[in-house]
Amino acid sequence: MAKPIIQMENIEKHFGNIIALAGVSFDVVPGECHCLLGDNGAGKSTFIKTMSGVHKPTKGTITLDGKPMHFDSPRDAMEAGIATVFQDLAMIPLMSVTRNFFMGREPTKGRGPFKRMDIKTANDICVESMRAMGINLRGPDQAVGTLSGGERQTVAIARAVHFGAKVLILDEPTSALGVRQTSNVLATIDRVRKQGVGVVFITHNVRHSMAVGDRFTVLNRGKTLGTAERGRITAEELQDMMAGGQELASLEGSLGGTV
């Protein structure tokens, strides 16, 4: 296997008296899609937030391209080539779609004191990226606050994909998406993976994860239950692990195994 781009070792994270992560290790190699799975509240979002510089780990080390790293801010992580779709999307409702899309990394033209935002380019890229995901925007200056849930999520994904240089982290990216948009996102993951980007994909949908995942790590109550490679684990086994091993049979039965 290739050398990991990013390697997280024994990460712990405490919030006041709450232990959200109790020692998690994880790595991503170029060109793979590493799925992070687990029950609600298992600590997935907290974990990828430490990976993208939002939280500082209480304990543990992060190694990027073989060198130990300290991210002081998400900006540091971004400059190291890590792009993230957060579960809460990190969008500003009052700002337009384009401005949200390029927030923090605006394209410019002109130079010196006349360096200014290249709004036309920005609008074009934004509309184009959204169309590629299956959403036709009414206009790039619509406020994000007036978009539907799925439209908003698509903006966040398109943005991360556009700026994802080495690692692309997606925290439940398809939760609010329609059928067509979901297919597009999965296809996109497939495409960027083939370009050599390492993808971290969080989802509750076993089918989605089986469709694109190369490796599967399951978190449970702040700890790793283990990592499996594609082909070594079945969808049913994965599902059992994700649910924390609880009895699903009875429920499943009554609903016809549809979950």
Ligand X SMILES: Nc1ncnc2c1ncn2[C@@H]1O[C@H](COP(=O)(O)OP(=O)(O)OP(=O)(O)O)[C@@H](O)[C@H]1O
Contact footprint for a second copy (CB under 8 A): 15, 18, 38-42, 45, 87-88, 134-135, 138, 146-151, 154, 172, 175-184, 186-187, 190, 204-208, 210-212, 239, 242-244, 246, 248, 251-252, 254-256, 258-259
Residue from 6, 24, 38, 51 touching ligand X (CB under 6 A): that is 38
Chain centre distance of CA 82: 10
Strand bridging mode 198-202 / 33-38: parallel
Cα end-to-end distance, the chain, whole Å: 33
With respect to ligand X, which residue has the nearer C-beta, 8 or 81?
8
- Contact between 33 and 203 under an 8 Å Cβ cutoff? The reply is no
Told to check if 56 binds ligand X by CB under 6 A, we report no
The alpha helices in the chain, defined as continuous H runs, are 44-51, 74-79, 97-102, 119-132, 149-163, 179-194, 206-212, 235-242, 249-255
With respect to ligand X, which residue has the nearer C-beta, 151 or 214?
151
With respect to other proteins, which residue has the nearer C-beta, 100 or 209?
100
Report the partner that residue 208 touches, choosing among ligand X, other proteins, a second copy, none (CB closer than 5 to 8 A by kind). Answer: a second copy
Minimal distance in Å, beta carbon 146 to a second copy?
7
- Contact between 119 and 107 under an 8 Å Cβ cutoff? The reply is no
The torsion angles phi and psi of 4, rounded to 5 degrees, stand at: -65, 145
Task: Name the site residues for Mg ion (rule: CB under 5 A).
Answer: 45, 87, 148-149
Instruction: Tell me the C-alpha distance between 115 and 109, whole Å.
Output: 6
The CA–CA distances, whole Å, from 231 to 189, 214, 216, 238 equal 19, 9, 10, 11
Minimal distance in Å, beta carbon 141 to a second copy?
13
Q: Nearest Cα to 126, choosing from 158, 81, 93?
A: 158
Residue from 51, 91, 147, 158 touching ligand X (CB under 6 A): that is 147
Task: Name the site residues for other proteins (rule: CB under 8 A).
Answer: 14-20, 22, 52, 54, 56, 73-75, 78, 84, 86, 88-96, 98-100, 102-106, 108, 115-117, 119-120, 122-124, 127, 136-141, 143, 159, 221-222
Residue from 73, 108, 148, 234 touching ligand X (CB under 6 A): that is 148
Report the partner that residue 75 touches, choosing among other proteins, a second copy, Mg ion, none (CB closer than 5 to 8 A by kind). Answer: other proteins
Q: What is the dihedral of CA 76, 77, 79, 82, to 10 degrees?
A: -170
With respect to ligand X, which residue has the nearer C-beta, 144 or 186?
144
The CA–CA distances, whole Å, from 22 to 2, 150, 155 equal 28, 33, 33
Interface residue list for ligand X (CB under 6 A): 15, 18, 20, 38, 40-46, 87, 146-151, 176, 178
